[in-house]
Amino acid sequence: MSEEKPNPEQNEDVHLYQKLADRAAEILQEGRKTIDEALKKAGDEISAGGEFTREQAEKISAYLRRDLNEVGRKLKQTRDTVINAAEPHRLAAGMQSGLAKLLHTAADVLSEVASRSEKVIEFHTGEVTSPGTLTCKACGKEMSLKATVRIPPCPSCHKTVFRKSY
């Protein structure tokens, strides 16, 4: 993937996404919380730490929940494909992505999100999302995301709405 000039705000959003995913995974491991409860608790803790505002935490938490829902929607296809897409060749380096950690954390996670996520979810430029393939709804151009990123405009037609696959 071509490296664009680092954008502090973008890096901060991506960092927060990873942080929320990591903390939510830990919370899920600790006890019998639902994903929503774990995400809320993670957001509360992180915003209480002062590094990020509650508004930031809620915005990024919504992206993370959306990604989980989208993963759940794809569950019937194949769980392994999704997990592999979430951690492309990074396990060896010990750099498991936040989403992949969440997926591995609880066996119930995928069935929980699968049950409530049936409609196709749109992804928009400026949102943060986990690795996968985004397809431009306007022109069909595919963008392969190898890491958690803030979504750029379509490189082909510059539109801003995408579907996601793995």
Binding residues for Zn ion, rule: CB under 5 A, are 136, 138-139, 141, 154, 156-157, 159
User: What minimum distance in Å lies between the beta carbon of 62 and Zn ion?
Assistant: 24
Is the Cα dihedral 41, 103, 67, 8 positive or negative?
A: positive
- How far is Cα 5 from Cα 93, in angstroms, rounded to an integer? 25
By three-state DSSP, how is residue 165 classified? strand
**Closer residue to Zn ion in complex, CB, 40/164:** 164
**Single-letter code of the amino acid located at 108:** D
**Contact between residue 163 and residue 123 where contact means Cβ atoms under 8 Å apart:** yes
**Closer residue to Zn ion in complex, CB, 48/157:** 157
**Contact between residue 45 and residue 23 where contact means Cβ atoms under 8 Å apart:** yes
User: What minimum distance in Å lies between the beta carbon of 152 and Zn ion?
Assistant: 11
**Closer residue to Zn ion in complex, CB, 120/139:** 139
**Closer residue to Zn ion in complex, CB, 95/157:** 157
User: What minimum distance in Å lies between the beta carbon of 159 and Zn ion?
Assistant: 5
User: What minimum distance in Å lies between the beta carbon of 124 and Zn ion?
Assistant: 13
